[in-house]
């Protein structure tokens, strides 16, 4: 009996080890495909211009992001510009289209849940340093083809599952879950049309989000100077 238990324990341990190794192997191949860990960690800031089609109308979107620190997203429509600002300790949203006349502060819970968005790399990059848990969940079909599934547990209430192309090792899709007060909110994001910038950084240029619709990225600047003042709700940003 003791021998049987010993064998079972060894098998379970070997299985867990193989699972961890498989996850790390896939993650390392994704990181290599995206230019390597040093390249990814060299991204300190990103300025990005996108467009979104809503009911046949093109909505321009501008984003200013400083890694791990702050993010500002602006969207313009019908002569009005709204924005969302997220920082490590606070956040605001302003939607004049909904009749708002001043920016409203985010709740502490909203700020806390948005912190993952401040990272300019995916959740599995340096996941051990972030204190996240990663598991390999086999393969699944995404966009008509098979993908590796990597689940990243950020906390007991927040997790993301990444679907990674087994040929290119680019992320094809991300599905996220947030649970609060017994209610689960699920979001998804599909990425495609990966391109390399002139300075060697790789980004998806087509992002279809369940929250924001189909975003077409047409300008990305990495590590350009961004004034921290724009992450205040009282500052209006006129172009870039």
**Burial classification of residue 138, based on how many CB atoms lie within 10 Å of its CB (0-12 exposed, 13-18 middle, 19 or more buried):** exposed
**Using CA atoms, how far apart are residues 65 and 45, in angstroms rounded to an integer?**
5
Nearest to 97, CA basis, from 115, 112, 75 = 75
User: Is beta strand 213-222 parallel, antiparallel or unpaired with respect to 158-164?
Assistant: unpaired
Q: What is the pLDDT of residue 238?
A: 52
Which of the 8 DSSP states describes residue 2?
A: H
Q: What is the pLDDT of residue 178?
A: 87
Q: What is the pLDDT of residue 5?
A: 43
**Using CA atoms, how far apart are residues 129 and 174, in angstroms rounded to an integer?**
21
Look up the pTM and report it: 0.84
Which of the 8 DSSP states describes residue 96?
A: G
Q: What is the pLDDT of residue 240?
A: 43
Please give the C-alpha separations between residue 126 and each of 22, 82, 96, in angstroms, as whole numbers: 16, 33, 39
Q: What is the pLDDT of residue 53?
A: 78
Cα dihedral sign for 17, 21, 192, 71? positive
Contact 176, 190 (CB under 8 A): no
**Using CA atoms, how far apart are residues 176 and 161, in angstroms rounded to an integer?**
6
**Tens place of pLDDT for every residue, the chain, 240 residues?**
544 444 444 444 444 444 445 899 999 999 999 999 999 999 999 999 999 877 777 889 999 999 999 999 999 888 889 999 999 999 999 998 888 889 999 999 889 888 889 999 999 999 999 999 999 999 988 777 889 999 999 998 899 999 999 999 999 999 999 887 778 889 999 999 999 999 999 999 999 988 777 889 999 999 999 999 999 998 777 544
Domains belonging to the chain, first-starting first, are: 2-231 (2.50.20)
Nearest to 143, CA basis, from 122, 124, 168, 125 = 168
Spatial neighbors of 7 by CB under 8 A, at least 6 apart, are none
Q: Nearest 5 degrees, angle CA 62-CA 52-CA 177?
A: 85
**Using CA atoms, how far apart are residues 201 and 217, in angstroms rounded to an integer?**
14
Nearest to 158, CA basis, from 131, 145, 176, 140 = 176
């Amino acid at each position: 009996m003791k021998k049987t238990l010993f064998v079972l324990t060894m098998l379970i341990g070997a299985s867990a080890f193989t699972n961890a190794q498989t996850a790390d192997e896939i993650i390392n191949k994704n990181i290599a495909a995206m230019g390597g860990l040093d390249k990814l960690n060299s991204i300190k800031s990103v300025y990005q211009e996108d467009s979104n089609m809503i009911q046949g109308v093109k909505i321009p979107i501008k984003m200013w992001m400083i890694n791990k620190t702050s993010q500002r997203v602006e969207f313009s429509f019908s002569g009005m510009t709204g924005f969302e600002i997220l920082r490590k300790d606070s956040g605001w949203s302003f939607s004049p289209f909904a009749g708002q006349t001043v920016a409203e502060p985010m709740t502490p819970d909203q700020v806390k849940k948005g912190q993952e968005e401040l990272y300019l790399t995916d959740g599995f990059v340096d996941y051990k340093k972030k204190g996240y848990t990663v598991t390999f969940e086999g393969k699944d079909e995404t966009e008509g083809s098979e993908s590796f599934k990597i689940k990243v547990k950020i906390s007991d209430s927040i997790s993301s599952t990444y679907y990674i192309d087994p040929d290119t090792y680019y992320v094809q899709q991300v599905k996220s879950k947030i649970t609060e007060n017994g209610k689960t909110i699920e979001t998804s994001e599909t990425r495609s049309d990966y391109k390399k910038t002139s300075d060697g950084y790789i980004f998806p240029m087509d992002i279809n989000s369940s929250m924001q619709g189909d975003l077409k990225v047409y300008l990305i600047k990495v590590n350009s100077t961004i004034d921290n003042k724009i992450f205040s709700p009282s500052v209006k940003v006129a172009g870039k």
